[in-house]
Every structure is written in C-alpha cells, then in structure tokens.
Amino acid sequence: MKYSEEVRPGEKIRLDDYDTSRSCGLTKEEAREKADELGREMGELQELLFAAGDTALLIVLQGRDTSGKDGAIRFILNHTNVQSCRVAPFKVPTAEELSHDFLWRVHRQTPPKGGVTIFNRSHYEDVLVVRVAGLAPEKVWSKRYGQINAFEELLSASGTVVLKFFLNISKKEQEERLLDREKDPVKAWKLSVDDWKGRDQWDDFTRAYEDALTRCSTEAAPWRIIAADRKWFRDLAIAECIVETLRPMKKAWMESLESLGREQKAELEAFRASRGA
C-alpha cells in the first residue's frame, strides 16, 4: 500500500485533485500501530546507513503554515538515532546568506555520507514565498526550477537519497489549527496577524506549489504528496516512504559491514599471533 502519492517526472499537478484528508480506510489506532512498526524499521535502517557510511539521506519537508512540519520531524527523530540525524531549519535568510546565490546556504547543510538531514523548509521557499511575496523578480525565480533540479541531481549522483514531502492540508483544516493555537496559551504567542493574512494568498501559494511539484519532480528526486489533515496518517505515509526507499539498500549495507568485520577480525588475529598470545 502506498500511503504517499509520488509525482512522476513530467506529470502536471493540480492540488485540487488530491484529497488532504485521505486515510486509506485506516482508523487512527490502526495507522498509529503501523507507523510505530515502520518507525522501528526506519531506526534500524538508519543505523545501518550510518554504519555502512556510503549513503546520505536528505529529507525535505515543505508545506503551508500549520501543515505539520514540526510534528513530522518529531516523529522521525523519535524513531532514529539523534547522533547522526540533524534538522536544518531555513528561515528568513540572513544578510550573509542573501549575499550568495540561493543554494549556498542550502548546500552547506546537506548530509554527509552516513548522515540524515531533515530540511524544515528548504531551497523551495525561493520559488514559493519569494515568488508569491514578490521578493525577487520573475526573471530570477523562474530560473530556479532548473537550478534546483541540477543541484538535486548532483546530490543524488553523489550518493545522497533525496526524499521530498509536501504536507498537503486543506484551507479549512488550517483555519482550525490556527484557532486551536490561539486558544492554547503555550502556542498563542507564536501567532501573529501575518498568519491570518497569509490565508489571503492561499490560491497564490497553491499555484506556486503546483509549479514546484510539477517542475521539480525528477527521476533523481521526485516529490511525494502527503495527505496531512490527519496527523497520524501523515506520519504513517512519511515513515512508509522512508522505509521503502532504504529497505532495498539493506542487503548491500549488511554485506559491506560483514566484510569489514571479517577484515578487522583477521587484523586482530594477526596482531595477537604476532604478540604470541
């Protein structure tokens, strides 16, 4: 069962075609159980990825305000070894970052071999908010789709698995989450008039997301659309995709670790023999 929906290269995306409250007939309890099971496997695979040290994993999370990026990160971190798993948030660029090309700050944060990095927002902001808010002229942002594809192909060709998730929520669900935040004394301070104003640009963001999903789904790094109105289904869909991507690499990782183990054992035995032990 594929809980996430993969965008094929060349496929033209209309977000209206996607059900944000999809749950594939699962109840909350069933989904949580499956997600935990997959989460355990994800943790095992991530330890092998780290030990084998020849592959990196980059997880890109994009979505509108309140779409659940922080929640998804919490789920992944709960199931992985935090030592080799980093989170890189991309906020409003600093003056130093703005004085370089838009991929400069992003490239620095890509994962090393053996590592996992989760991007909380990403270089896609440079064709999303930058486009919608008019922070750069069309002449500039329109070139970025190709530049992003070339960059992600470089990462992929260099041993980095790039998984991109668009957390897709409905306008109605967003309203409910904003109202919930307003009522929650721990979260209310984070809200601003801008969060509500942002909703006026809902359709502009829809167009910008559709273009990013359509133009930046490559063989090397396709987008996955995650129905995100139900938090428990969102976590399940992401966990499944990560596990199904890494699982086929497990055999090669095991073999390389076993071969390393044999070498080390032989070295140790030779050392002991030389000391006459």
- If one counts every other C-beta atom within 10 angstroms of the C-beta of residue 11, the result is 12
> In whole angstroms, how close is the CB of 238 to a second copy at the nearest point?
25
The site map against a second copy for 113-142 (x = CB under 8 A) is xxx------------------------x--
For 211, the token pair is 């273009």
Among 38, 42, 45, 155, binds a second copy (CB under 8 A): 155
> In whole angstroms, how close is the CB of 268 to a second copy at the nearest point?
23
Strand order across the beta sheet in which 56-63 lies: 5-6, 223-227, 160-168, 56-63, 116-120, 85-89
In 136-235, where do the E strands start and end? 160-168, 223-227
> In whole angstroms, how close is the CB of 151 to a second copy at the nearest point?
8
Q: Is 24 helix (H, G, I), strand (E, B) or coil?
A: coil
- Is residue 9 within 8 Å of residue 217, measured between CB atoms? yes
Among 147, 201, 206, 256, binds a second copy (CB under 8 A): 147
Q: CB-wise, 24 or 140, nearer to a second copy?
A: 140
260 near a second copy, judged by CB under 8 A: no
Q: What is the 3-state secondary structure (H, E, C) of 105-147?
A: HHHCCCCCCCCEEEEECCHHHHHCHHHHCCCCCHHHHHHHHHH
Q: How many residues bind a second copy (CB under 8 A)?
A: 28
Q: Name the residues that contact a second copy, by CB under 8 A.
A: 53, 56, 96, 99-104, 107-108, 110, 112-115, 140, 143, 147, 150-151, 153-155, 157-160
